[in-house]
Each structure stands twice: as structure tokens, then as C-alpha cells.
Structure 1
Amino acid sequence: MKRLTAVISAIGFATYKEWAAFRSHMAASLLVGPVMFLVQVFIWKAVYQGHETLNGLTYQQMLTYYGVASLIHYISFDFADWNLQMLVRSGKFVTFALRPLPHWLFALAQKIGHRSLALWVEVLPVLLLFIFVFGVNLQPAAPGWAVLSITFSFLMNFMVNYCVGLTAFWLIRAEGIRRVFLLLKDICAGVFIPLSFFPDAMQKVLFFLPFQFITYLPTRVYGGEYELAGTHLSLGQAVGLQAVAVAVTALTMTVLYNAAMRRFTGVGV
């Protein structure tokens, strides 16, 4: 276990140093979050005209929702799907297939290093901007549950994206599928609009999909309450449900990865 931890730490630190040399590229993304948030301010200010609450959320709670969702996006941002598909398509994945460390673990270690750098290059500046420029209340209702839920969000986003990347072992060109899936993932995760605004029938479907655990649930946990499809859960229950979803997704990813490796070695590599 110590050896595995040391390997993951080494990979993460190497990735951190590699991206630190190009941190200006990451800093460029600082413009995206605030601009998208400003658009949401204009939209919801107009929508809330004459309304105190909408679907149980006040205007300030709505701004907090999008502020927290933006921060979670920066923390859990992932491109494991694109990276894996490029490795498979270029043939470079063979170098990872020969290593004793499974590629998904290598990719996770890379993400940890990459997002560790993002904490002070992206997350901290945006956090201060939201608080002092936009006046958004970003004080978590229960810091412990919020941190745990965001950690699960980090893992869930990686595993879902990695599963998408694994389709490259069966499809010659998976780019189109990847883009469509990622768009649907963001919609079903509550990135564009809180899931509680969807029709009741759709909320019941979204409740059982893994995507809400990437954005919607951790955002609501951060705010101190969770509700979807008429189901109200305490923070502990919500994070517990998220933990179960992460475990199921991890099992699914492992099964798909093993199937992909059998297919990869089955064609003569």
C-alpha cells in the first residue's frame, strides 16, 4: 500500500510540475467561469422579477448554486476521456498496457496533480472574485460534508469520463459520441440549470443516474439541503447515497477496463 501511495504521489507531483510550467494556459480559463456566472446573474435576475422563490430557491440561493457549481467544475475538471482516446487512436496506449500499474490509476494520479495546481491557479482566484466582486455567499453550511461530497464529485467525474474514453477500444472514431455524451452529462448533472427545475417525471429518472452526483448533489450539500424528485435527504444521507454511487461507478469502470484490456490484447498487441 505504501509503495502504491508513493507511486501515485510521484506521478501526481510530476504532473503538477509539468503543468506548472504552462500555468498561463490554465489561468486563461479564469475568464470562462466569471463570464458564465455573470450571464446567469442577468438571466435569473430577470426570471426572479416578482418572485421571492422559484422551486424553493431564493435569488441569492440561486446565485450561490451557480457560484458553487463553478468552483466544483474547476476542482473536478477532467479530460481523461479525451486523453485515453488519443492514446488508443495513436497506438501509444501499448506502453501503458505493458506496465504493472493499470492505466486508470495512472490517469487518476495525473488528475490529482493537475487539479492540485488548479486549486491556487483557478479555484482560489475565482472564489475571491465571487465573494468580493459578486457578493456571493460561499460559506458552506457544513464544511465537513461539503469537502467529502466534493471529493466524491472529483472521483465520479473522473470515472464517468474514463468510461466514455474506454469506448475507443470498440469504436474507431469516438469523438462525436464523446461530445454528445459530455453535453448530456452536463445537462443531467445540473450544470446549466438545477435539476429541481426539471419536470417531476424527469427528476425521477435523473435521481437514479450517476450525473447528479457530479454537480447537483455536492452543490446542494454545500448549501445545506438536498431535494430531488420529491425526496428530501439530510446531508449525511445525501453524501452516503453519493458514496454508494461512486462505489457502483468504480465497479462499472473496472469491469469495462478489464473488458477493454481483453479486447486490446486479443487483437495481437
Structure 2
Amino acid sequence: MKRQLAMIRAIGFVTYKEWAAFRSHMLASLLVGPVLFLVQVFIWQAMFEGKETINGLTFAQMLTYFGVSTLIHYISFDFADWNLQMLVRSGKFVTFALRPMPHWLFALAQKLGHRSLALGVEVLPVLLLFLFLFQVNLMPASPGWALLSIVLSFFMNFFINYCVGLTAFWLVRAEGVRRVFLLLKDVCAGVFLPLSFFPEVVQKLLFFLPFQFITYLPTRVYIGEYELAGIRLSLAEAVGLQALAVLITAGLTLALYHAALKRFTGVGV
């Protein structure tokens, strides 16, 4: 265990240094979040004209929702699916198949290093921009539960994306599948619209899918209340449900990973 932790720290640190040398890539992304948020401000200003609440959310809460979801996107951003598919397509995955550390753990260590750099380069500047320029209330209702939920969102996004990347072992060129899936994932996670705005029958389906645990649930926990498909949960219950979903998704990821390795070795026979 100590050796594994040491390797994770080493890989994360190397990834941090590597991306720090090319941090201009991250700086470019600073424009995306605020611009999309500004679009949301204009849209919801028109929607709330003459109304105090829509689906139980005030205008201020709606801005907080999209502000928090934007920050969560920066924190949990993941490219494990793209990286894994490139390794499989190019044949370079064979070098990882021979290493003592499983690739999924290597990819997670990379993400830890990459997102650690993002905290200072992306998250903090956008946070200050939302606070002082847009004057969005970003004070969490319960800092402890909010932090734990965001951490779980970080892992959930990784495991889901890694599962998408594993499809390359069966499809090889899975770029089209990847793009369609990631778009559906963002829709079902509540990136573009709070899930409570969908029809009730759709909400019931979304409640049992893992995607809400990436954005919608942690954002609602941050705000201080959770409700979906007529189901209201306390913050502790919501985070507990999220933790259970992360564990199930992690187990599914490991099962698919071992199946993919058998598929990979079978190709060379």
C-alpha cells in the first residue's frame, strides 16, 4: 500500500510539473466557463422576469447553481477516456499492460496531478471572477458535506470516463461513441439545465443513472438542499447515496478493465 501511494504521488507530481510547463492550455479554458455563465445569466434573467421562483429556485439560487456547477466542472474535468483510446489505437497500451501498476490507477494519479495544478490556474481565478464580477453567492450551506460531495464527483467523473475509454478495446476507433456519450453525460448530469426541470418521468430515470452524481447532486448539496423526481434527501443522505454510487461505478470499472485486458491479450494470440 505504501509503495502504491508513493507511486501515485510521484506520477501526480510529474504530471503537475509537465502541465505546469504548458499551463497556457489551461489559461485558454478560463474564457469558456465565464462566457457560458454569462450566457446563462442573460437567459435566466429573461426567464425570471416577473417571477420570484421557477421550480423552487430563485434567480440567485439559479446563478449559484450554474456558478458552482462550473467550478465543479473545472475540478472534476477528466481526459482519461481520450487518453486511453489513443493508447489502444496506437498500440502503446502494451507498455502499461506489462507494468506492475494497473493503468486505471496510473490514469487516476495523472488526474490528481493535473487537477491539482488546475486549482490554482483555473478554479481560483474563476471563483474570484464569480464572486467579485458577477457577485454570485458561493458560500456553501454546509462546507463539510459540500467538500465531500465534490471529492466524490471527482472520482465519479473519472470512473465513468474511464469506462468510456475502455470501449476502445472492442471498437478500436470509438471517437464517435465517445463524443455522443459525453454529450449525453453532460445533459444527464445537469450541466446545461438542472435535472429538476425535466419531466417527472425523465427525472425518475435520471435518479437511477450515475450521471447526476457528477454535477447535479454535488451542486444541490452545495446549495443546501437536494430534490429530484419528488425525492427529497438530507445532505447526509444525498452524499451517502453518492458515495454508494461511486463504489458501484468503481467496481464496474474494475470489472470492465479486467475484461478489456483479456480482450487485449486475446488480440495478439
TM superposition score normalised by structure 2: 0.99
| Separation in 2, partners of 1:246, 1:90 | 30
Q: Which residue of 1 aligns with 2:183?
A: 183
Cα drift, residue 173 of structure 1: 1.5
- Whichever residue aligns with residue 68 of structure 1, its letter is V
- Residue deviations 1:69-113, cap 9 Å, x none? 000000000010000000000000000000010000000000000
Aligned to 2:98: 98
RMSD value, Cα: 0.6
* SS in structure 1 at match of 2:31: helix
1:37 corresponding residue in structure 2: 37
Aligned twin of 2:197? 197
Deviation at 1:182, TM superposition (A): 0.2
Displacement of 1:172 after TM fit? Answer: 2.7
- Residue aligning to 1:112: 112
Helix, strand or coil for the counterpart of 2:171?
A: coil
Name the residue aligned to 2:81: 81
Moved over 6 A (4+): none
1:138-149 equivalent positions in 2, closer than 5 A: 138-149=138-149
Q: Residue 238 of structure 2 corresponds to which residue in structure 1?
A: 238
| Separation of aligned partners in 1, 2:196 and 2:71 | 20
Q: Secondary structure at the match of 1:170?
A: helix
Q: Distance in 1 between matches of 2:193 and 2:39?
A: 13
The match for 1:165 is 165
Unaligned residue ranges in structure 2 (runs of 5+): none
Question: Which residue in the other structure is 1:260 paired with?
Answer: 260
In structure 1, what is the Cα distance between the partners aligned to 2:192 and 2:250? 26
The secondary structure found in structure 2 opposite 1:232 is strand
Q: Quote the offset at 1:228 in angstroms.
A: 0.2
Amino acid paired to 1:139: M
- Inter-partner Cα distance in structure 2 for 1:132 and 1:172: 47
1:200-239 to structure 2, matched below 5 A, reads 200-239=200-239
Deviations 1:48-79 (A, max 9, x none): 01110000000000000000000000000001
Spell out, residue by residue over 1:119-166, the C-alpha distance to the aligned partner (whole angstroms, 9 max, x if none). Answer: 000000000000000000000110100010000000000000000000
Aligned-residue sequence identity (percent) comes to 79
Name the residue aligned to 1:64. 64
**Aligned equivalents of 1:98, 1:220: Cα separation in 2:** 43
Structure-1 residue corresponding to 2:174: 174
Quote the Cα distance in structure 2 between the aligned partners of 1:143 and 1:4: 30
| Cα distance in 2 for residues equivalent to 1:72 and 1:82 | 20
The one-letter code matched in structure 1 to 2:62 is M
Q: Give 1:20's aligned residue.
A: 20
Match in the other structure for 1:3: 3
* Aligned residue pair count: 269
State the one-letter code of the partner of 1:109. Answer: A
Separation of aligned partners in 2, 1:76 and 1:21: 21
CA distance in 1, matches of 2:50, 2:116: 43
For 2:204 and 2:116, how far apart are their aligned partners in 1? Answer: 35
CA deviations over 1:16-72 (Å, ceiling 9, x no partner)? 000000011111100000000000000000000111000000000000000000000
SS at match of 2:167: helix
Paired with 2:103 and 2:151, the residues of 1 have a C-alpha distance of 21
Would the aligned equivalents of 2:12 and 2:110 in 1 still touch at CA under 8 Å? yes
